[in-house]
């Protein structure tokens, strides 16, 4: 039985702990039942999705995806070209906006999504993007995305499929202002792609240096390997108020 929306979390003076997931769902072309079970088992507060619905009936399909995870559509979809933010009732989305990168002829049009959120007394911004596979195009997109991130004054949480690895130009642009939890916790050897036999860490969650990182993991269960060609990244982060 659906008991309706949960009550808002009471405002508190202390910091708030959030579980944030970055997940490229491969256009939902794999095992959808496994995909739903992966997310529900992890029970994140926020999922930033790459390759989410972006064309016909994208609103209904985005909402359906979120419902299957027992979550809510928050922002993104077609306006951000397949980048999507979904949340639990615990998270209140105050406003959102999307960004589109310049189109390179013959390439795939890409973008980013941003959502300003509150949990209790904590206000923060969640952002997500999926960068190009072409080296030159990807670096240009990373710079545009980083410039937009620099306009955010609240603590910022970024989740992305970078199509680049740590030390690459695009990755370096983002960690210039943000923290890589995997590197901080000594887990940067956990690869995310391809899911069946991962060799590269191209998916990431980056955290504002004002936040505290409590845990980091790449989910490599049999269900995760069946659900997508990427493994999901999960970070527990404490956001200041």
pLDDT, tens digit (0-9, with 9 covering 90-100), for 130-169: 999 999 999 999 999 999 999 999 999 999 999 999 999 9
Q: What is the pLDDT of residue 190?
A: 98
| Token pair recorded at residue 229 | 């060609």
Q: What is the pLDDT of residue 5?
A: 46
pLDDT at 3 > cutoff 50: no
Phi, psi of 180 (to 5 degrees): -95, 105
**Distance separating alpha carbons of residues 70 and 86, to the nearest angstrom:** 10
pLDDT at 233 > cutoff 70: yes
Grade residue 40 by pLDDT with cuts at 50, 70 and 90: very high
Interval 5-16: pLDDT, tens: 445 555 556 899
Q: What is the pLDDT of residue 14?
A: 80
CB 73 within 8 A of CB 103: no
pLDDT at 90 > cutoff 70: yes
Q: 120: Cβ–Cβ under 8 A, 6 or more apart, which residues?
A: 9, 10, 11, 12, 16, 241
Percent of the chain with pLDDT over 90: 91
Q: What is the pLDDT of residue 12?
A: 53
Q: Domain 16-239: which CATH class?
A: alpha beta
Q: Tell me the average pLDDT across 224-236.
A: 98
pTM beyond 0.75: the answer is yes
Long-range contacts of 63-69 (CB under 8 A, 24+ apart): 65/25, 65/28, 68/32, 68/35, 68/36, 69/36, 69/39, 69/40
Percent of the chain with pLDDT over 70: 95
- Supply the mean pLDDT for the chain: 94
pLDDT at 42 > cutoff 90: yes
């Amino acid at each position: 039985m659906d008991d309706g929306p949960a009550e808002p979390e009471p405002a508190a003076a202390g910091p708030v702990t959030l579980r944030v997931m970055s997940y490229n769902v491969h256009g939902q072309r794999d095992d959808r039942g496994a995909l739903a079970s992966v997310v529900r088992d992890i029970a994140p507060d926020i999922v930033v999705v790459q390759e989410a619905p972006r064309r016909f009936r994208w609103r209904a399909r985005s909402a359906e995806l979120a419902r299957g995870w027992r979550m809510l559509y928050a922002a993104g979809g077609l306006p951000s070209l397949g980048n999507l933010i979904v949340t639990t009732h615990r998270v209140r989305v105050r406003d959102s906006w999307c960004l589109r990168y310049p189109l390179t002829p013959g390439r795939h049009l890409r973008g980013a999504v941003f959502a300003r959120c509150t949990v209790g007394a904590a206000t923060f911004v969640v952002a997500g993007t999926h960068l190009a596979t072409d080296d030159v195009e990807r670096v240009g997109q990373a710079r545009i995305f980083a410039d937009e991130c620099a306009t955010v004054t609240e603590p910022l949480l970024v989740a992305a499929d970078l199509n680049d690895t740590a030390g690459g130009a695009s990755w370096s642009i983002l960690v210039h202002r943000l923290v890589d939890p995997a590197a901080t916790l000594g887990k940067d050897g956990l690869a995310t792609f391809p899911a069946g036999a991962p060799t590269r860490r191209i998916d990431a969650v980056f955290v504002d240096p004002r936040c505290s990182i409590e845990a980091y993991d790449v989910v490599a269960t049999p269900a995760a390997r069946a659900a997508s060609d990427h493994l999901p990244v999960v970070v527990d982060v404490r956001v200041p108020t």
